[in-house]
Amino acid sequence: MTNVTEHVRCLIIGSGPAGYTAAIYAGRSNLSPVLYEGLQPGGQLTTTTEIENFPGYPDGVSGNDMMEDLRKQAIKFGADVRRGVATFVELSTAPYAITIDGEKTLTCDTLIIATGATAQYLGLPDEIKYAGMGVSACATCDGFFYRKKKVAVVGGGDTACEEASYLAGLASQVYLIVRKPFLRASKIMQERILNTPNITVLFEHETTGLFGENGVEGAHLVKRRGKPDETKVDIAIDGFFLAIGHKPNTDIFANYLELDETGYIKTIPGTPRTNIPGVFAAGDVADPSYRQAITAAGSGCAAAIEAERYLVANKL
């Protein structure tokens, strides 16, 4: 590897709750961690309005404020937090080499990958127009704001069904917008959805736009698009939830790390260890199932502890 400019003991990629928590723990263990913030400093939580389910904040906290606090806490304990995106990695032999912004290359003894996952959106301009004003990709995060209101969930997989089921406990009415004539979700989830009185499944419906003055007030749908009986349908809703899948940010690691069929990094169950010694994965990048700030932070902590143990065991 050419152009190696620096060697660090602990390199962290990603700046959501997993990356920052790893940096706090690694900093307090004197590992002098270097953290690169990635494309979206602060991660997915910077796009949520209020976080009410992180323990310790009885009055809630904004995603931006929490990430700023975590960043400050990491710096306070000696983490070197830098702007930059990891664009290339070489993990075949230790020390591992990471190229930042296609320009400079660092080597590291331990690597903590906390690059997160990106929620998929339909790609409608209205999703951007109403971002934070009724459009969300996380029912557990934002569902509470729709108590006794009407919401729609897009998707027909397990995530969509779980989100619809969760929202049905809060909202007065939940529409599940499914593009096919059937659900892809597991049978048990399908049954739960079909047996919940305030969930209406709109099979063979696609969303073409959203409307509303100061936030989402409804969605434009089309039923059986392209068929002879194609129909336009409008529904009145206050919240529009996307649940059409997440894409873990793992492309640059695919040549080295074991990934599952969706692209999530596989870790040894109950640990943040990957198939490469000294390389750990924390947060949503290795978690298709919980995807919460608190679980991400917990796994970031575990990754830093593992990195410390690895360095000691290998006298690095």
Which of these is catalytic: 10, 138, 161, 301?
138
Q: Is 160 in the site for ligand NDP (CB under 6 A)?
A: yes
Q: Which of 42, 95, 239, 288 binds ligand NDP (CB under 6 A)?
A: 288
Q: At residue 73, what is the residue type?
A: Q
Q: Is 180 in the site for ligand NDP (CB under 6 A)?
A: yes
Name the residue nearer to ligand NDP (CB basis): 231 or 289. 289
Burial profile 143-166: b = 16 or more Cβ within 10 angstroms, e = fewer = bebbeeebbbbbbbbbbbbbbbbb
Are residues 244 and 226 in contact, defined by beta-carbon separation less than 8 angstroms? no
Q: Is 278 in the site for ligand NDP (CB under 6 A)?
A: no
Establish whether 10 is a catalytic residue.
no
Q: Is 13 in the site for ligand NDP (CB under 6 A)?
A: no
Establish whether 301 is a catalytic residue.
no
Q: Is 12 in the site for ligand NDP (CB under 6 A)?
A: no
Name the residue nearer to ligand NDP (CB basis): 86 or 160. 160
Among the residues of 29-145, which ranges form H helices?
63-76, 125-129, 139-142
Cis? peptide before 58, omega within 30° of 0: no
Sheet with 173-177: strands ordered across: 135-136, 239-242, 150-154, 173-177, 199-202
The tokens for 273 are 């260890």
Q: Is 248 in the site for ligand NDP (CB under 6 A)?
A: no
| Minimal distance, residue 151 CB to ligand NDP, in Å | 16
DSSP string, 141-177: HHGGGGTTSEEEEE--SHHHHHHHHHHHTTSSEEEEE
| Minimal distance, residue 192 CB to ligand NDP, in Å | 11
The tokens for 245 are 């899948």
Q: Which of 28, 129, 149, 179 binds ligand NDP (CB under 6 A)?
A: 179
The tokens for 255 are 């040549």
| Minimal distance, residue 124 CB to ligand NDP, in Å | 10
Name the residue nearer to ligand NDP (CB basis): 154 or 285. 154
Which of these is catalytic: 10, 108, 109, 142?
142
| Minimal distance, residue 288 CB to ligand NDP, in Å | 5
Q: Is 159 in the site for ligand NDP (CB under 6 A)?
A: yes
The tokens for 251 are 């492309």
Q: Which of 158, 204, 284, 308 binds ligand NDP (CB under 6 A)?
A: 158
- From CA 135, how far away is CA 239, in angstroms rounded? 6
**304 Cβ partners below 8 Å, 6+ apart?**
10, 21, 22, 23, 24, 25, 26, 29, 31, 33, 112
- How many CA atoms does the CB half-sphere of 44 hold within 13 Å? 24
Are residues 68 and 83 in contact, defined by beta-carbon separation less than 8 angstroms? no
| Minimal distance, residue 238 CB to ligand NDP, in Å | 20
Q: Which of 154, 219, 221, 282 binds ligand NDP (CB under 6 A)?
A: 154
Which of these is catalytic: 141, 284, 287, 301?
141
Decide: helix, strand or coil at residue 301: helix
Name the residue nearer to ligand NDP (CB basis): 122 or 276. 122
Q: Which of 109, 126, 142, 162 binds ligand NDP (CB under 6 A)?
A: 162
Residues in binding contact with ligand NDP, number by CB under 6 A: 16
Establish whether 141 is a catalytic residue.
yes
Q: Is 187 in the site for ligand NDP (CB under 6 A)?
A: no
Residues that bind ligand NDP (CB under 6 A): 122, 154-160, 162, 179-180, 184, 244-245, 288-289
Active site residues: 138, 141-142
